[in-house]
Structure 1
């Protein structure tokens, strides 16, 4: 049985001129991880391959954000998102992710490709962290996992509607 990773309060960084790159299959299992990904996540490539991409999911990340991400990808569209990840020893790191469907020569989605770069620190501190904390509080107010996900997603939808914007427009306005 695998020992759960306990989050620390230590933030780690990767150079602004580097990208974290990964590819997954249709189920979100890692099929490729570049050197920067392995380094910041503190995993050997062999430890990552075949694992769900959620292996680096930080518990501070609202499930509703991932629902939005997967709904967008399932619709065949790309998405940009701020994500807080957790490495093998529990340290965290923020990324600005660009995730796209990978297609075969017939246009069928066969997996996903993600490039992550360093995010702007002011956006993470002033906008994303408080927003995600609010979504997470909404999710945690529900005992049932499905109800929590629906409540968190509805929070995101209401937040965007109250600002007369879409998720994409919000992200690109920051």
Structure 2
């Protein structure tokens, strides 16, 4: 089981943008893909507030909803535009969830994101999938 877990983690690290923060939202870990995507080094990011990549157009209410959700011990998901060090825009399908200690206390948060810039540029495929989704759930 250990070998499978290691393989899964290695695969995730290659395709998902992963970070962890302390309870105040300060970055405690970023993977290589996060650094490559944003243009920041690990040293520049560690200890910084995660809002360093926040795009100014995202309403504060989005982040309030996220914080309210994860502070309750629940998982939050959303699609969010972010901005890298050089001003480059990237859009991510984001999942944020709390991590717990043995007593069930929240000790930090993990964010796992998939960059979906490719979907943004392929509007026809995105619209087709949405139509299929709507058709399925409208039954």
TM-score range, shorter chain: 0.7 to 0.9
Select which of 16, 21, 28 maps to 1:19.
Answer: 16
- Name the residue aligned to 1:163: none
- Name the residue aligned to 1:50: 47
C-alpha contact 2:96 2:110 (8 A) present in aligned 1: yes
- Name the residue aligned to 2:9: none
| Structure that is richer in strand per residue | 2
Alignment of 1:106-125 (within 5 A): 106-119=103-116, 120-121=119-120, 122=123
1:114-143 alpha-carbon deviations (Å, 9 max, x no partner): 100133434xx87xxxxxxxxxxxxxxxxx
Gaps of 5+ in 2: 1-13, 128-136
Correspondence 1:83 to 2:85: no
Q: Distance in 2 between matches of 1:98 and 1:58?
A: 17
- Name the residue aligned to 1:160: none
Moved over 4 A (4+): none
Correspondence 1:61 to 2:54: no
Root-mean-square deviation (Å): 1.9
Gaps of 5+ in 1: 1-16, 127-172
Q: Distance in 2 between matches of 1:118 and 1:38?
A: 13
- Name the residue aligned to 1:39: 36
What SS does structure 2 have at the residue aligned with 1:43? Answer: coil
Q: Distance in 1 between matches of 2:76 and 2:35?
A: 23
Correspondence 1:92 to 2:86: no
Q: Distance in 1 between matches of 2:86 and 2:114?
A: 21
What SS does structure 1 have at the residue aligned with 2:113? Answer: strand
